[in-house]
Amino acid sequence: MNFNELKNVKVRIADGIAWVSLNRPEKRNAMSPDLHFEMVDVLKELAEDTAVRVLVLSGEGDSWCAGQDIKLFFRDLDDKPRERHLARLANHEWRWTLLSSFPKPTIAMVNGYCFGGAFVQLFACDFAIAADEALFGLSEVNWGILPGGLVGKVIVDGLSYRDAVYYSMTGEQFNGKKASEIRLVTQSVPAAELREKTELLAHELAKKNPQTLRTIKESLRLVRGMSVDQAADYLLAKEREMRFLDTERGREQAMTQFLDEKTYRPGYGAYQRNEDAGANQPKESS
Ligand code: COA
């Protein structure tokens, strides 16, 4: 896929990190049908790209994403059922299906406005780092509409019920610091440090065993909807699956390093992966 041909999305891959940004800054990165179609292709491509170990989702300019494009996604499609259906499918496919099950860690780097529909991809990412100055809002109520298209579901699942109700019924805006306080994002940092902090986390994740990371994220997402008995059985099956699929044999390596070679204390960092041997030597003190 030639990323340079994309009109609504920018992709740059460096040091194992895929930097993906919505690229409609003049419309505050509001999501048009064409942006949805492009993102479906981009995520499918990056999922299988062996040069990519972590994905960062951001926005060009001073906005992360101002939600659905009110004109192109809503009003222009009102009388076009076929186009509306295809746009809705793509919209759901990349923001939820492909992103939440992306086989590598994903980080939302929230550089600015995050409104309405943008909450879906925010929750679909494994991590979210926001600028203190970023502005969040469940503004649907101000349009006379519901936080639909999965927004209502992700906020109830991901926030406290009180916060989900408060912010969706008032439409009140809040900044990155508040987003961190209510655990909508993992962390909030001054805008000037946003990229550096995101890169640090991405590099840390890129050092870890990819199969282990993949299994952890798949498992945590799915056990939320299971009973205790189902979760216990499922996690055991995933553990066995991981040992079967892990070509780096991380579990065996870690045990050898801890029990026999005495070169490793797990409390201090990741086990020494083959390509990274020595990078995580046990430290004298934590
Ligand atoms: N859909 C369509 N166009 C949008 C948009 C959206 N969700 N958000 C911004 N735009 C467009 C504006 O119409 C404007 O287009 P124009 O230059 O052709 O007039 C352009 O982006 C810049 O927006 P503007 O409002 O001038 O920028 P701002 O920096 O002053 O304000 C926002 C930014 C995001 C606060 C403001 O645009 C806004 O409230 N957008 C709607 C956000 C929203 O409620 N989204 C959820 C929808 S359910």
* Domain 3-206 classification at class level: alpha beta
Partnered with residue 17 across adjacent β-strands are 14, 54
**Ligand 1 centroid to residue 28 C-alpha, Å:** 6
Ligand 1 atom at minimum distance from 27 CA: 21
Give the 3-state secondary structure of residue 149.
Answer: coil
Name the residue of 24, 28, 74 to mutate for ligand 1: max ligand atoms within 8 A of Cβ.
28
Is residue 283 pLDDT above 90, yes or no? Answer: no
Which residues contact ligand 1 via a Cβ below 6 A?
A: 27-28, 30, 66-71, 113, 115-117, 139-140, 143
Handedness of CA 239, 120, 95, 126 (dihedral sign): negative
Q: What is the pTM of this model?
A: 0.92
The structural domains of the chain, with segments of one domain joined by +, span 3-206, 208-286
Residue 191 CB neighbour total at 10 angstroms: 15
Is residue 275 pLDDT above 70, yes or no? Answer: no
Q: What is the DSSP string of 219-286?
A: HHHHHTTS-HHHHHHHHHHHHHHHHHH-TT-HHHHHHIIIIIS----GGGS----GGGTTTTPPPS--
In Å, how far from its chain's centre is CA 208?
17
Residue count (the chain): 286
Is residue 207 pLDDT above 70, yes or no? Answer: yes
17-57 pLDDT tens trace: 999 999 999 999 999 999 999 999 999 999 999 999 999 99
Is residue 271 pLDDT above 80, yes or no? Answer: no
Q: What is the pLDDT of residue 274?
A: 52
Q: What is the pLDDT of residue 273?
A: 59
